[in-house]
């Protein structure tokens, strides 16, 4: 089976999405998510100018060889743009192979290891009453695990959020104490620090949150400094999750080999596809480290589907982040996955189980949009 075409579809039904659409001489169509939030057009150019022409005429079944060809053959390795582009090709080819086999993708990855995937959703509020309302609305929507954020330390305006680290460290344990008092001891609670602390602050926060039994503390430091996590780890038993901005196994080398984290946050979309993330997770498995794949709205339904197939198949699944897309997105991307009793399942359709309606996608052209930034009170640029 030969690849006949590879086109990049950019659409903004509710937000920008980049999708690679690969067609074979047997008229099978495979999809891959290549959305890199705020830098979308860099991946579009990488795919359209440099990757798509190389795919035409290749064996659609040769997934590993194509992965190695794009990774090694480029000479310039790693990085978010490259790895999102490689991921999109990888996932599109897995989609095609599974459709050809007449099976949902998870069957080709080893079959189901569980009946469904525990998902967590986001709750946030500027004060405790609004936070409680937000948590209640998430549990009513079916979520059985909740990420709890407070906006108290960030005053949003058009230019930047103002961030006060000292106030955050002082107040956050009290927020979790109140949430536990209101919602009880058994609801899994998560929290995302968004890379905003230095190691000693992260160590102190992890320790202060221990009484509230977090499922995890996420991105507590900018973890490209992998060694910093030794300090955090030596001070706290709060489980640690890291890596939504990582894109290869090399970003995790120290973190996994020294067991400095408990959950791998990388997504299929940003870490080289199903093939590469599976390798990262198999490495992590030897150290009792589990998956915690990134699943915000900027992972498209195609990227989410790929995550669900991989998560269902691997042994060391931990939890899946799941932020529902809007109604327009669901029309552009027709999906087969389900969310029942707090558990996600990729469904039984052959392949990924997602269909891209190209005409519908064409109604929503790209619009530039960027992530917010944060600044300290004195104006210093901080991590968002
Ligand atoms: O900032 O998806 O855990 N989730 C997050 C997200 C990320 C965005 C980046 O594109 O941290 O909100
Ligand atoms: Co995060």
For residue 223, what pLDDT is reported?
A: 84
Ligand 2 centroid to Cα of residue 40, in Å, is 19
Nearest atom in ligand 1 to 219's CA: 11
The answer to whether 194 is a known catalytic residue is yes
The closest alpha carbon to 183, from 220, 119, 137, belongs to 137
Name the residue of 191, 195, 296, 298 whose CB sits within 8 Å of the most ligand 1 atoms, as the mutation to test its pocket. 296
**pLDDT above 90: percentage of residues in the chain:** 94
Nearest of 126, 127, 121 to residue 189 by alpha carbon? 121
283 pLDDT higher than 70: yes
**23-32, 89-98, 157-166, 193-202, range with the lowest pLDDT:** 157-166
Strand bridging mode 29-33 / 117-125: unpaired
Mutating to test ligand 1, I would choose from 33, 240, 244, 323 the residue with most ligand atoms within 8 A of its C-beta, which is 244
Angle formed at CA 142 by CA 107 and CA 281, multiple of 5 degrees = 40
Span 87-111, pLDDT tens digits: 999 999 999 999 999 999 999 999 9
- Atom 9 of ligand 1, nearest CA residue: 37
pLDDT at 156: 46
Annotated active-site residue in 153, 212, 252, 364: 153
195 is catalytic: no
pLDDT band at 158 (very low <50, low <70, confident <90, very high): low
Pocket test residue of 219, 267, 298 for ligand 1, highest count of atoms within 8 A of CB = 298
% residues pLDDT > 70 (the chain): 98
What confidence tens digit (pLDDT) does each residue in 167-221 have?
A: 999 999 999 999 999 999 999 999 999 999 999 999 999 999 999 999 999 999 9
**Cα–Cα distance measured from residue 69 to residue 296, given in angstroms and rounded to the nearest whole number:** 30
Say how far apart CA 199 and CA 230 lie, in whole Å.
9
Q: Helix 63-73 vs helix 80-101: angle between axes, to the nearest 10 degrees?
A: 170
What does the pLDDT average to over 121-129?
94
Ligand nearest to the CA of 384: 1
Q: How far is the CA of 114 from the centre of ligand 2 (A)?
A: 25
Cα 375 versus chain centre, distance: 25
Q: What is the 3-state secondary structure (H, E, C) of the chain?
A: CEEEEEEEEEECCCCCEEEEEEEECCCCEEEEECCCCCCHHHHHHHHHHHHHHHHCCCECCCHHHHHHHHHHHCCCCCCHHHHHHHHHHHHHHHHHHHHHHCCEHHHHCCCCCCCCEEEEEEEEECCHHHHHHHHHHHHHCCCCCEEEEECCCEEECCCCEEECHHHHHHHHHHHHHHHHHHHCCCCCEEEECCCCCCHHHHHHHHHHHHHHCCCEEECCCCCCCCCHHHHHHHHCCCCEEECCCCCCHHHHHHHHHCCCCCEECCCCCCCCHHHHHHHHHHHHHCCCCEECCCCCCCCCHHHHHHHHHHHHHCCCCCCEECCCCCHHHHHHEEECCEEECCEEECCCCCECCEEECHHHHHCCCCCCCCCCCEEECCCCEECC
| Pocket lining for ligand 1, CB < 6 angstroms | 37, 192, 194, 244, 294, 296, 298, 371
Average pLDDT, rounded, for the chain: 96
Q: Which atom of ligand 1 is nearest to the CA of 296?
A: 2
Identify the pLDDT of residue 159.
Answer: 61
Can you say how many angstroms the Cα of residue 73 is from the centroid of all Cα atoms in its chain?
26
């Amino acid at each position: 089976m030969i690849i006949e075409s590879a086109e990049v579809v950019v659409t903004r039904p509710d937000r920008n999405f980049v999708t690679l659409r690969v067609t074979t001489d047997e008229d099978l169509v495979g999809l891959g998510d290549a959305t890199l939030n705020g830098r979308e057009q860099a991946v579009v150019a990488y795919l359209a100018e440099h990757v798509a022409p190389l795919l035409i005429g290749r064996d659609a079944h040769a997934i590993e060889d194509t992965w190695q060809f794009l990774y090694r053959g480029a000479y310039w390795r790693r990085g978010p743009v490259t790895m999102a582009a490689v991921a999109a090709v990888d996932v599109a080819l897995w989609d095609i192979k599974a459709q050809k086999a007449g099976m949902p993708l998870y069957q080709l990855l080893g079959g189901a290891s569980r009946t469904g995937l525990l998902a967590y959703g986001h709750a946030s509020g500027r004060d405790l009453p609004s936070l409680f309302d937000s948590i209640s609305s998430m549990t009513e929507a079916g979520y059985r695990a909740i990420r709890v954020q407070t906006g108290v330390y960030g005053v949003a305006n058009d230019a930047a959020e103002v961030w006060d680290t000292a106030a955050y460290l002082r107040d956050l344990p009290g927020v979790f104490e109140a949430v536990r008092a209101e919602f009880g001891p058994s609801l899994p609670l998560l929290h995302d620090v968004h890379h905003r602390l230095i190691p000693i602050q992260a160590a102190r926060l992890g320790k202060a949150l221990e009484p509230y039994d977090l499922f995890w503390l996420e991105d507590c430091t900018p973890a490209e400094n992998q060694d910093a996590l030794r300090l955090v780890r030596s001070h706290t038993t709060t489980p640690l999750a890291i890596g939504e901005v990582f894109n290869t196994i090399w970003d995790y080398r120290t973190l996994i080999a020294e067991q400095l984290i408990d959950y791998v946050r990388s997504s299929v979309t940003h870490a080289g596809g199903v093939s590469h993330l599976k390798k990262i997770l198999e490495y992590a498995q030897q150290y009792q480290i589990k998956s915690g794949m990134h699943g915000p709205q900027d992972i498209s339904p195609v990227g989410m589907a790929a995550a669900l197939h991989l998560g269902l198949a691997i042994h060391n699944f931990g939890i899946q982040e799941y932020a529902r897309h809007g109604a327009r997105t669901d029309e552009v991307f027709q999906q087969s996955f389900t969310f029942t009793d707090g558990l996600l399942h990729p469904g039984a359709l052959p392949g990924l189980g997602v269909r891209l309606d190209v005409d519908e996608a064409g109604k929503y052209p790209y619009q530039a949009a960027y992530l917010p930034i944060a600044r300290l009170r004195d104006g210093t640029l901080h991590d968002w």
